[in-house]
Amino acid sequence: MAESQKTYRLGVIGFAHMHVNELVAQFVAHEQVNLIACADTVPNVPSLTAVEGSRTANLKRALASAENVVTYADYREMLEDQDLDIVIFCPEISRHAEVAEALAAHGIHMLTEKPMAASLGDAERMVHAAGNAGVTLMVNWPITWRPWVLTVKDLIDAGEIGTPWEFKWRNGPSLGPLAAGSLHPGDTVVSGALSEAEKAAEWWHQADAGGGALLDYCCYGACLSTWFLGQQAISAQGMKANLLSPFGDAEDNAAMLVRFPDALAILEATWTTFHAGVPHGPIVFGTHGTIVVDGTVAKVFAERDNPEATTIYEGEPFGAGRATIAEQFIRHVETGESPHPTLDLPLNLAATAILDAGIRSAASGKSENIETATVALP
**CA atoms of 296 and 299, how far apart (whole Å):** 10
The 10s digit of each residue's pLDDT in 203-215 is 999 999 999 999 9
pLDDT band at 11 (very low <50, low <70, confident <90, very high): very high
Q: Taking a C-beta distance cutoff of 8 angstroms, is the pair 70, 84 a contact?
A: no
Q: Is the pLDDT of residue 273 over 70?
A: yes
Q: Taking a C-beta distance cutoff of 8 angstroms, is the pair 12, 69 a contact?
A: no
256 phi and psi angles, rounded to 5 deg: -135, 140
Residues of the chain within CATH 3.40.50.720 domain(s) are 8-142
As assigned by CATH, the class of the 8-142 domain is: alpha beta
The 10s digit of each residue's pLDDT in 136-147 is 999 999 999 999
Burial class (CB in 10 A: 0-12, 13-18, 19+), 141: buried
In the CATH scheme, what is the code of domain 144-319+352-369?
3.30.360.10
Q: Taking a C-beta distance cutoff of 8 angstroms, is the pair 60, 25 a contact?
A: no
Residues of the chain within CATH 3.30.360.10 domain(s) are 144-319+352-369
Q: Which is more confident, 183 or 83? A: 83
Average pLDDT over residues 300-307: 95
Average pLDDT over residues 237-242: 98
pLDDT of residue 325: 97
Instruction: Name 317's Cβ contacts closer than 8 Å, sequence gap at least 6.
Output: 147, 150, 323
Burial class (CB in 10 A: 0-12, 13-18, 19+), 246: exposed
pLDDT of residue 280: 84
- Taking Cα atoms as reference points, which of 54, 34, 38 lies closest to residue 46? 54
pLDDT of residue 197: 96
Distance of CA 200 to the CA centre of its chain: 23
The 10s digit of each residue's pLDDT in 159-183 is 999 999 999 999 999 999 998 877 7
Give the pTM.
Answer: 0.96
The 10s digit of each residue's pLDDT in 31-71 is 999 999 999 999 999 999 999 999 999 999 999 999 999 99
pLDDT of residue 377: 87
